[in-house]
A and B are shown apart, each in its own frame.
Chain A
């Protein structure tokens, strides 16, 4: 069976459209972050998160009314299925909290408020209290880890391939991180530790596809020195296209199973991975190679001039040549 038999699409023709689309998504995300702030979960902002299991059915509204008198802005959300009767209550880090017992204070206040509010009996199934000190520490680590990962991967690709490829790969990866963040903001997911773990995994994963294509480009460059780079890149993208789509598909399917069956705790993680996988595949095909070519445009033009009069003609000619070779 074959999904794509002898794929031959001129992806590079769409490079500017693709870049514009990506820019729109990323700028949209950045604009939302700029106006509403980065949606940091309590892992990074510090604060209190409690998941309460009620013995009787209850609505978000009832819980919200009960905890409303407390200082700060409480977030009340249904946690998991309605039938599980669980509510998530989140409070931000209280400003100027006193040292000592302050960590537990907010959680005790919530428990008291719920007990007084005439609500059904409840038990606490999950409680996370994070102080600002730890939050700041994790923030730094998150930023450091993401940057270090990008840098290390750039260096590795720079050593194994050429510099312009490394830049292409890293721009594509950065693109995936930003697109993923944008979608997290659009869909109202908080940046939790799990989500950041997923983003880091994406940096490693999304560069995989790019490496596969670049490997093929290198191989083709070796055997066909005379042809222009953009044509070789485009052909390499096509040659590896079915592999790119199949592996993205299988990874997508397995992560989808986490999203569907993995429970509430892994939902943010799975969502991040799903967006990252789609974005990674898209950026591999449209962004990474485009950047690599734009960056090596100087060399590409020079060789292209020898083969055909213009870049556009080189793309057109590529199609015919490929058919000729296949027969």
Chain B
């Protein structure tokens, strides 16, 4: 008797805690994107970009130290993101002492008159990892600037994929552009231009663009946006006086004609460099290049140190440019691998459909159990409902997300939860047939099927655990619901249901002779 009192208290506490944990459900149960509406994006970071930059910088430094040491060489070229080659070395021992720095991150293999360098594998892995982390942090800052509630930015499967979930975002295209924009800012000299077309620009160089220059699209002053009708082309220097990394701040502003503009300021060391650069090039046209698009071109009037202005943009471009510049440049370019967009109206409908089918599923099962097992069927109903309460409570407690397949998992839990009850009830019936008395039959029924219940739950758990590895949040939602449902079902079908049986048996003194089953 004492034992059963404690059991009832335990069950009551579990139910109470569960209800406390998910009530009120509107605020405590998290909804997935498919119910709330929003967009799920997977991006791939082109980590090769970052490795190439590292390799280019290394070659640049190598050239520097070689020329300082007076070592003669024919050429030093980047041949791949992680590989460069130095050829035509005259003085090998002189070269090796001057080029010792390059050996820290690169493996050197010799060939006639030169060396091939390959980035050390562990360095490459580390760099790739850093690149993805940096990209992740940058995206986080941008998403926060967008003002989305409860966004998710996380690493995804593979080494170079990032998951971004934006609930309730309305202008998906704009969000995607902001996230993806590399925000690579360059301030550089214009060689020639503007030209009306890329071909015209190429012709100006007799189709032979110098290796230190490149042709980029830009916009005609006072006309359309880049990429549309008003596009013109400029030949600009590849090397940039300052880059996005040198930025200290960017803010919304207006230009001399009261049009939207972005004002940016440079960090101190960059300001010095930029001052020298502008001083040396007074009178020449300078281009502000953002993500390989010439944003504006202006003639350098005098020494400029720490600030500049991007003009000729509309209001929206101004806001977006500030967001991307402020959040910092992405270390590598990215592209989208996956996009799943659910409109808010569809989400609302799914919630309603999920709710109706849950009630219907529960209704079907309750009617059947009571009809078939009579009063004992109520035990099963109690245990199923307890199971659902615990399931909801645990999901809210763990912060798991409720998705549409998750609701399906819920309904499935109702159906499968009955399984253990049926197993026990059928066994009790069988034991009753051998006429050993009600209490003995109930005890034997529970004891004999215990291992069967363990086995069936383990096999279902195995399948559910393997579902977890699908990164898509909707499927994970299903798997998590199923796993929690299965675990709490062991508790409700065995512990709760047995306690219910014993309560009934205890109430009827002396020992009952019949059972409504």
Contacts and interface: CB of A to CB of B under 8 A. Distances in A.
B74 interface: no
Nearest to A160: B455
Contact of A266 (B336, B405, B414, B448): B405
A123 B344 CA distance: 12
Interface stretch (B10-18, B207-215, B283-291, B367-375): B367-375
A145 B469 contact: yes
Given A205-B460, A247-B419, A255-B411, A133 B337 contact: yes
Contacts of B372: 1, 3, 246
B110 interface: no
Given A131-B337, A137-B158, A207-B459, 15 more contacts: A125-B343, A127-B340, A145-B467, A200-B466, A201-B460, A243-B423, A250-B369, A251-B418, A251-B419, A255-B412, A255-B415, A261-B360, A263-B349, A263-B354, A265-B34
A255 B342 CA distance: 24
15 contacts: A3-B372, A99-B335, A126-B341, A149-B463, A153-B463, A157-B459, A246-B422, A250-B419, A257-B360, A257-B364, A257-B411, A260-B357, A261-B353, A263-B354, A266-B357
A296 interface: no
Contacts of B460: 201, 204-205, 208
* Interface SS of chain B: helix
Which 9 A/B pairs are nearest by Cβ-Cβ distance?
A: A204-B463, A254-B415, A251-B415, A263-B353, A254-B361, A257-B360, A204-B460, A261-B357, A257-B361
Contacts of A133: 44, 337
Nearest to B344: A125
A251 B412 contact: yes
B78 interface: no
Given A215-B455, A254-B411, A243 B426 contact: yes
A180 interface: no
A194 B365 CA distance: 24
A269 B354 CA distance: 13
Interface residues of B, number: 74
B354 to A, nearest CB: 7
Contacts of B103: none
Contacts of A260: 357, 360
A258 B426 contact: no
A242 interface: yes
B462 A153 contact: yes
B368 A250 contact: yes
B459 A211 contact: yes
B459 A208 contact: yes
Interface string A158-201: 00100000000000000000000000000000000110010011
Which of A51, A123, A204, A253: most chain B CB closer than 10 A? A204
B418 A250 contact: yes
Contact of A145 (B349, B423, B466): B466
Interface of B: 34, 42, 44, 157-158, 176, 335-343, 345-346, 349-350, 353-354, 356-358, 360-365, 368-369, 371-374, 404-405, 407-408, 411-412, 414-416, 418-419, 422-423, 426, 429-430, 448, 451-452, 455-456, 458-464, 466-467, 469-470, 472, 474-475, 478-479, 482
Contacts of A200: 463-464, 466-467
Contacts of A72: none
Interface string A130-166: 1101100110011001001100110011001000000
Chain A interface, >50% SS class: helix
Q: How large is the interface on A (under 10, 10 to 19, 20 to 34, 35 or more residues)?
A: 35 or more
A211 B371 CA distance: 27
Q: Which of A142, A197, A219, A247 has the most CB of B within 10 A?
A: A197
B179 to A, nearest CB: 13
A270 to B, nearest CB: 7
Contact of B423 (A3, A142, A247, A270): A247
Given A137-B158, A250-B368, A251-B418, A148 B466 contact: yes
Nearest to A216: B452
B423 to A, nearest CB: 6
A204 B354 contact: no
A307 interface: no
Contacts of B335: 99-100, 103
A212 B420 CA distance: 10
Contacts of B176: 104
